[in-house]
Amino acid sequence: MTALKKYQRLESPGLWRDTPEAQRREVVVAFREASLVLSDPRTELALSHWSLPAVERLNPGTLPALYGPGLDSDETLELDDPDMIAALETIRGAVRKGTPRPGRLRGTLLAGGTLAILGVVAFFLPDALVRHTASVLPPATRAQIGAAALADISRLTGAPCTTPLGDRALTLLSERLFGGAGVQLAVLPEGLPQAAALPGNILLLGLPMVTAAPGPDVPAGFAIAEALRAEVDDPLISILRHAGFAATVRLLTTGTLPEGALAGLGEGFLAADRPPLPDVTLLARFESVAVSSAAYGYALDPTGESTLGLIEADPYRGGTPRALLNAEDWASLQAICN
């Protein structure tokens, strides 16, 4: 390397660290053939050898200059001698000029391959990211998103109904169905004919389904079904799809959605189809919580034709064995929006 010859006797002081945690140590920096030697100024013993072609400037444009024997090395060398800095920059420039450049054909092929990869990533990554994000969010964050989603939905339905006695009835029903799982039941006054689930263990019940029901078995059945549906098809996934890719990335990296990410969610949420669940799965869940499934089946289809499995295979043909609510609490629930 011809650029090296005029510097082969150049020496200067420097400050060297062998690890980021170590104290800086004074050294003598000297050019040698194809290497930079760092020596103890007192004993003149070599402490480190750096390959000149591999030397990297770690703080371009800043003084004192900071160098390393490679970008992935723990060693650093601090220099403020202008001649030594100029020499190293000259050598590094010569190395860069001598590095082969990819040919035009190679560049074209690389660009084409990159575009193809980006196309595949753009198609598959958003949904994969949404599902991954939904699977790793802590319960507190899921609850915050559920509450934010409910706020947007309430633009269309009105705020969840609340009265002291009605709230008490919802709490008693939740404890009877879900024990200590912390499931929050809420009744919406408009826009929701049956039921739906939100992240954070929020189950929404439509007021028409509550007021027209002959007994608490009906809202209980819808709550059971929606809780099961939320286990099968996480409601957070559709919410993150609405929020978009960038908002999901921010949620994953910072733990919060950007402001306005859920704006307009309510329209799609209320219009979304809720496919029926398999009878076998539903019946097993009804049996596990000791609730008759027939009332739910008739609420879905008053003729019973399309829900015959839920009616004829009811695990409690004689009716729910343990009361869901007493008469006073059931009356309070039906009057919660009054």
pLDDT tens sequence across 224-263: 999 999 999 999 999 999 999 888 888 888 888 999 999 9
- Whether 84 shows a pLDDT value over 90: the answer reads no
Give the pairing of strands 202-206 and 184-188.
Answer: parallel
d(CA 37, CA 110): 39
166-217 confidence digits (pLDDT tens): 999 999 999 999 997 889 999 999 999 999 999 999 999 999 999 999 999 9
Q: What is the mean pLDDT of residues 288-293?
A: 96
Q: Which amino acid is at 108?
A: T
**Highest-confidence segment of 22-31, 48-57, 105-114, 226-235:** 226-235
3-state secondary structure labels for all residues of 17-75: ECCCCCCCEEEEEEEECCEEEEECCCCCCEEEEEEHHHCEECCCCCCCEEEECCCCCCC
- Whether 92 shows a pLDDT value over 80: the answer reads no
d(CA 265, CA 153): 7
pLDDT of residue 132: 87
d(CA 161, CA 166): 8
pLDDT of residue 159: 95
pLDDT of residue 264: 94
The percentage of residues in the chain with a pLDDT greater than 70, rounded to a whole number, is 88
Closest CA to 293 of 307, 303, 305: 307
pLDDT of residue 274: 84
Residues 6 or more apart in contact with residue 64 via CB below 8 angstroms: 78, 79, 80
Alpha carbon 313 to its chain's center:
40
pLDDT of residue 125: 54
Q: Nearest 5°: CA angle at 175, between 335 and 275?
A: 80
- Whether 300 shows a pLDDT value over 80: the answer reads yes
Q: What is the DSSP letter of 265?
A: H
pLDDT of residue 102: 52
d(CA 279, CA 104): 62
pLDDT of residue 120: 41
Q: In what order do the strands lie in the sheet with 25-32?
A: 46-51, 35-39, 25-32, 11-17, 76-79, 65-68, 56-57
HSE-CB of 252 using CA atoms within 13 angstroms? 18
pLDDT of residue 6: 60
pLDDT of residue 21: 87
pLDDT of residue 87: 82
Q: Where are the domains of the chain?
A: 2-98, 128-334
Q: Which of 57-61, 313-317, 323-327 has the lowest mean pLDDT?
A: 57-61
Residue with the larger pLDDT of the pair 295 and 92: 295
Alpha carbon 210 to its chain's center:
35
The percentage of residues in the chain with a pLDDT greater than 90, rounded to a whole number, is 56
109-134 confidence digits (pLDDT tens): 555 544 444 344 444 457 888 888 88
Q: What is the DSSP letter of 257?
A: P
- Six-digit token string for 127: 């949904």
pLDDT of residue 276: 85
Q: Which of 62-66, 149-153, 183-187, 320-324 has the lowest mean pLDDT?
A: 62-66
CATH T-level fold of 2-98? PH-domain like (2.30.29)
pLDDT of residue 106: 54
- Whether 152 shows a pLDDT value over 90: the answer reads yes
Q: Kindly report the pTM of this predicted structure.
A: 0.64
**Mean pLDDT estimate for the chain:** 86
pLDDT of residue 118: 38
